[in-house]
Amino acid sequence: MRQVLRVDPNAPLINHSKRIRDILEAGGVIAFPTDTYYGLGVDPFNEKGIRRIFEIKSRTYNKPLLILIGTKSQITQLTKSRSQEADQLIQKFWPAPLTLIFNAVSKLPDVLTANTGKVGIRLPRNEWTRRLIQTAGCALTATSANKKGGENTRTAEEVLNIFGSDIDLVIDPGAAPGGKVSTLVDTTFSPPTLLRNGAITQQEIDSCLKNKHTLTSYNSNW
């Protein structure tokens, strides 16, 4: 059965907290708007939920899943051995459509990291999305709410047309803003490596890092 939770984007989400948390704890999948497009969310420590995302998206297991956090403090639960360059980018840009790749803590399931030992994380600019993550009580995966190779989705209706009852809950505060996808930077290298161009430009990143220039690489599964 399709479940759509239509909410006022300006209203507190606390009244829906139990419903959302129960779904996530059971390995369920929710869909919600991010600072770019709609994403599919599960608890990143819940392997059952992670595998469901791969199944419903027809996604190959050699592609890691990205994660959204609601506050900067959550990053310590997910990463280890963070570089100075990573901290510079965090302080300069977050919250922003900038996804940074870090060394992952060992507790994160290998299926989420695709056995890379790395995890991609973003603190979204969308204030509502950050409130949702805090309401959920955990970070959330944020892979795009589409099938492999499909168009990104901006509305709850588009998500439902693709996935139907495969998703446990679609949270609908209105359309996602769309626009450019998040920029993707691997901070486990020095200098960091730009894996995907997006909303934050390479020039802005290089300016933040001053004398260090990011290297562009497109041969990546991220």
Question: CA distances (Å), 188 to each of 86, 87, 105, 154, 184, in order?
Answer: 8, 12, 13, 32, 12
For residue 187, what pLDDT is reported?
97
Q: In angstroms, rounded to a whole number, what is the distance separating the alpha carbons of residues 174 and 215? A: 37
Give me the DSSP letters along 129-198.
HHHHHHHHTS-EE-EESS-TTPPP--SHHHHHHHHGGGSSEEEESS-----SPPEEEETTSSS-EEEE--
Once rounded to an integer, what is the mean pLDDT over residues 3-15? 94
Once rounded to an integer, what is the mean pLDDT over residues 19-40? 96
Instruction: Look at 222 and 44; give whichever has higher pLDDT.
Output: 44
164-187 per-position pLDDT tens digit: 999 999 999 999 999 998 999 999
pTM for this entry? 0.93
For residue 2, what pLDDT is reported?
54
> Is the pLDDT reported for residue 222 higher than 70?
yes
133-164 per-position pLDDT tens digit: 999 999 999 999 999 889 999 999 999 999 99
Q: Which fold has domain 4-216?
A: DHBP synthase (3.90.870)
Average pLDDT along the chain: 94
> Is the pLDDT reported for residue 1 higher than 50?
no
- For the chain, the structural domain boundaries read 4-216
The continuous run of DSSP H or E covering 5 comes out as: strand 4-6
Give the side-chain half-sphere CA count within 13 A for 40.
Answer: 28
